[in-house]
Structure 1
Amino acid sequence: MKLRDSPSACPSLWRSLRCPAAELRLDLVLASGQTFRWWESSPGAWTGVMGGRVWTLRQDRDRLWYTVYGEEEEDERPAEAAKLDSAEMDQILRDYFQLDVGLRGLYRTWGAADPLFQSVAKDFPGVRVLRQDPVECLLSFICTSNNHISRITTMIERLCCAFGRRLCCLDARPVHAFPSLSALTGVDAEARLRALGFGYRAKFVSGSARAVAEGLGAEGLRQLRAVPYAEARRVLCALPGVGTKVADCVCLMALDKAEAVPVDTHVWHIARQRYGAALGGRSLTPRAHQQIGDFFRGLWGPRAGWAQAVLFCADLRKGQELAGSRERAWGGRGRGNHRDGPH
């Protein structure tokens, strides 16, 4: 199957919805370590997996263009992957990018409250938080501890190829769905993950998949969207390999907790050095996590996690320019610290 990278080349296969660049910048959002399933398939075109389907997205002036690929074995696809009409596809995109949230107004509010945000954000419009599948987000961010985006992306690709259902093949590249919980709970799952290069993370990925499958289930995990932030974080932190930071990433990017502020050593240093906030002691304890999150929630308001996403993206771009491929991931530590262990 050929990639459909240009609406002008095959207009009947493309649809669009109105979305100004100030509300969404694909290049900033899809490459900023929130998700690891998208790649730039040609200049300005992003191809990836969303909702069990393969999409290519483009932006043109104030339109977001998209095309969706059919599965190779359409008779064998699960019921939830049945063919969608255009309104349903539009809604999937709106939900994934949370396009009902007006970003420009939020930027103005955050800039008025925080001069540092205002000085940075002018060069980084359209950075918004994705609303991802909770299972995929959870297991992906377990892989981010002490890691960087290039390596995480490779690990997630191996995970999907080994355990996920094949969706289609684009320009000789096979594309797979994210694995189901049941696919990752087999007795040999941890050993297979170790063989794929997951190291100590293998037991946490398979262990959390098993814990969710035997406990809440995928639907129960999704229903954490309806409980208070503190309760959702408490439930997540009880899972293997999930500490406060990874839990906050999942709360923010999958469970509708816009106030969640993922804190790593880098964010801690920003709070202390750029904002003069004397928070935390000699180490980044759970109490320090709470204090730093509360500080930013007090500064930026109820969508503090979204504001941090903008600064994180700006910092990541600067880091990429300085250090090439050694990017810092949302769930990983700052560059230069590679001590093993979950957090």
Structure 2
Amino acid sequence: MTWNKLFCNSCELQLLGTLNGGQSFRWTHNQDNNEWTGVFSKTVWKIKQSDNFLQYQVLGSLYKDISENNSNKSHKFSDEQNFEFLLKKYFRLDHDLGKYYKKWSEKDKLFQEACKQFYGIRMLAQEPVENLFSFICSQNNHISRISSMVEKLCMFYGEEICNHNGVKYFTFPEVEKLSDPQVESKLRELGFGYRAKFIQKSAAQIVEWGGEKWFNSLQEMKYKDARQELMKLCGIGPKVADCICLMSLNHLEALPVDTHVYQIAAQNYLPHLRGKKNVTDKMYAEIGDHFRNLYGDMAGWAHTVLFCADLKKFQQNEKSDSVENCKQRKKRKNK
């Protein structure tokens, strides 16, 4: 199978930090050939990077032509145009990340240092249904188990996309499938614990409130109003609500605060918060507001770079690469 190429300088997109940083749980990394395999938009992808291109293969897809949702019905998109559109949207490639990094570096010396290694960290534009239920699974959990739970949801309630090298890949289930009252008992059998109730009850609420239309209305609301609406769902607290706002509702100022984010804030920005045992509602709001005042309306994205830079697993896996290396590659390209 041949590789398709989408122009994207590696300085503008770092796959390791973006796909392995706890945003999405459906990507696997083959370190031998540095290829990533994952599922989004009802499509199975294999992707890898070169200096100036994001290379991709589509292993299977149930995605319908984007022209069906386009106001210009007379224009029919080719498969390649469809898939390029999906990749650009997913990685938010319409955002000039270099410009934002420069802006954030000027405001924050810690960011200025972190971004030397953790360049190209993108905030994925995920589908709200998958994002919401994946983060219900994330509560009091670790990444490998979250990934296992997400795959179980897909296997039992999604639609098979394809079988590649003996592995079956499935779509993330429609919210209506998860709203069935029998879902809770089945998920408990599968090891979801108390999360089983949260998933089924939240799905039923979303269906009752209008499903996709309800999610669309959240995107049109102001951030804090959308956050309050999400917290009306069964099992959705402030942190998960902020994850959904940030990662799938286009509220890029949302900043999920967990104990790790608290430690970054207390150690480097808000020393009066050091030594606290729990993150109270007041502290949560103070931390979020501090970074929104510092970084502006994309604070959640900016802070994700600090989050990645502070994670030990990235420090252990980091390559001898830097923004300076990126600049050298750009110079060679422009000669």
Range into which the TM-score falls when normalised by the shorter chain = 0.7 to 0.9
Answer yes or no: is the 8 Å Cα contact 1:134–1:222 preserved in 2.
no
Q: CA deviation at 1:317?
A: 3.9
**How far is the alpha carbon of 1:218 from its aligned partner?**
2.2
The residue correspondences of 1:175-324 to structure 2 (distance < 5 A) are: 175-279=169-273, 283-318=278-313, 321=316
Amino acid corresponding to residue 300 of structure 1 in structure 2: Y
CA shift, 1:187, in A, is 2.0
2: CA distance, partners of 1:79 / 1:22: 31
Among 119, 124, 132, which residue is 1:130 paired with? Answer: 124
Partner Cα separation in structure 1 for residue 252 and residue 271 of structure 2:
22
Q: Match for 2:17: what amino acid?
A: L
**1:23 aligned partner:** 12
Return the offset for 1:199: 0.6
Q: Which residue of structure 2 aligns with residue 340 of structure 1?
A: none
Retained in 1: the 8 A contact 2:43–2:63?
Answer: no
**Distance of 2:80 and 2:63 partners within structure 1:** 20
Structure 1 residue 84, shift from structure 2 partner: 5.4
8 Å Cα contact 2:309-2:315 kept in structure 1: no
Is the CA contact (8 Å cut-off) linking 1:279 and 1:292 kept in structure 2? no
Q: Unaligned 5+ residue runs, structure 1?
A: 1-9, 72-76, 323-343
Q: Kindly state the Cα deviation for residue 148 of structure 1 after the two structures are TM-superposed.
A: 1.1
CA 252–78 in structure 1, closer or farther in 2 if over 3 Å, else same: closer
- Among 53, 58, 61, the alignment partner of 1:68 is 58
Is 1:32 aligned to residue 27 of structure 2?
no
- Which residue in the other structure is 1:107 paired with? 101
Match for residue 174 of structure 1? 168
1:87 and 2:81 aligned: yes
Q: Offset at 1:282?
A: 6.0
Q: Which residue of structure 1 lines up, in the alignment, with residue 330 of structure 2? A: none
Please tell me the residue identity of whatever aligns with 1:313.
C
In the TM superposition, residue 145 of structure 1 has moved relative to its aligned partner by: 0.9
1:320 & 1:19 partners in 2: Cα distance? 24
Counterparts of 1:279 and 1:257, CA distance in 2: 26
SS at structure 2 position matched to 1:40: strand
Give 1:121's match in structure 2, choosing from 104, 112, 115: 115
Q: 1:218 to 1:277 in 2, by over 3 A?
A: farther
Alpha-carbon distance in 1 for matches of 2:162, 2:18: 24
- C-alpha displacement of 1:24: 0.5
Contact 1:204-1:241 within 8 A present in 2 as well: yes
Distance (whole Å) between structure 1 residues aligned to residue 87 and residue 240 of structure 2: 25
Higher RCO, 1 or 2 (CA under 8 Å, sep at least 6)? 1
Q: Determine helix, strand or coil for the equivalent of 2:289.
A: helix
TM-score w.r.t. length of structure 2: 0.86
Q: Residue deviations 1:252-304, cap 9 Å, x none?
A: 00000111111012212221222234359763233322111000111122211
2:37 aligns to what? 47
| Cα distance change, pair 70–116 in 1 and its aligned pair in 2 (3 A) | closer
| CA gap 1:126/1:79 in 2 versus in 1, 3 angstroms | closer
Say if 2:143 is the partner of 1:149.
Answer: yes
Deviations 1:195-238 (A, max 9, x none): 11111111001111111011131232133112110111011011
Task: Report % sequence identity.
Answer: 43
Q: Residues of 2 paired with 1:320 and 1:158: CA distance? A: 30
* Alpha-carbon distance in structure 1 between the residues aligned to 2:201 and 2:282: 26
Cα deviations across residues 7-65 of structure 1 (Å, max 9, x unaligned)? xxx33xx3211111111011221111100111124522111111011111111111011
Partner SS state of residue 16, structure 1: strand
TM-score (norm 1): 0.84
After superposition, the CA RMSD in angstroms is 2.1
Task: State whether residues 36 and 47 of structure 2, in contact with CA within 8 Å, keep that contact through their aligned partners in structure 1.
Answer: yes
Equivalent residue, structure 1, for 2:72: none
> Displacement, 1:96?
0.6
From the two aligned structures, give the one with the greater helix fraction: 2
Distance 2:313 2:167 in 1: 31
